[in-house]
Structure 1
Amino acid sequence: MADDASAHPDILNQAAQGQLKSIVERIERLEIEKAEVAEQIKEVFAEAKGNGFDVKILRKVVRIRKQDRAKRLEEDAILDLYLAAIGEI
């Protein structure tokens, strides 16, 4: 790849090449960190499962806690309305 940059010096000047390389390297480091965090989350869910917690429900709890409370309550009310309308509750 370095040969490609030197073969086409008119594409990006040296400063832009350095900046681009820096950006790509930062993204690569962040991807590694993201994979490490994902593995840690997986381990926490495994621990929870080992302690008898339902992982599927835990995932829902985490997702719900991310939502705005008012929006969540509105969605719950609409869900209840729809379920009642089709005779499910």
Structure 2
Amino acid sequence: MSNKEQRRRTAAGHGDNSLDETTRAKLQSIVARVERLEEEKKGIADDIKEVMAEAKALGFDTKAIRAAIRLRKIDRAEREEAQMVLDLYMDAIGD
């Protein structure tokens, strides 16, 4: 028995390779929802690229902007602690 056949037999606990209509409908709904979300995610990613291109055209450093956005997601106290540790390590290695 191939791996594909084995996965099919164990999928959702059904040994006969079939899903009842309710289960099939739920699965189709889940897949459709994920596909819609993936499309939305792609659209948002495209929007972010446009905004970053605008920032670059205005002379901003997009790498620094991305770093600032990443850091703003971290709690201030955690950021400060991480910065202190980084400073300590940089000092220890002589840089």
C-alpha deviation, 1:23, in angstroms = 0.4
SS at match of 1:34: helix
TM norm structure 1:
0.86
In structure 2, relative to structure 1, the CA distance for the partners of 1:10 and 1:83 (3 Å cut) is closer
Aligned to 1:42: 49
Q: Kindly indicate whether residue 68 of structure 2 is the aligned counterpart of residue 64 of structure 1.
A: no
Structure 2, unpaired ranges of 5+: 1-15
Q: How many residues align?
A: 80
Post-superposition offset of 1:11: 2.5
Distance in 2 (CA, whole Å) between partners of 1:28 and 1:87 is 51
Q: Which consecutive aligned stretches of 4+ in structure 1 deviate over 3 angstroms post-superposition?
A: none
Say if 2:58 is the partner of 1:51. yes
User: Structure 1 stretches of 5 or more lacking a match?
Assistant: 1-8
Pairwise CA distance, 1:10: 6.0
Alignment pair present for 1:75 and 2:82 = yes
Q: TM-score, normalised by structure 2?
A: 0.80
The one of the two structures with greater contact order (alpha-carbon pairs below 8 A, sep at least 6) is: 1
For residues 83 and 16 of structure 1, the distance between their equivalents in structure 2, rounded to whole angstroms, comes to 57
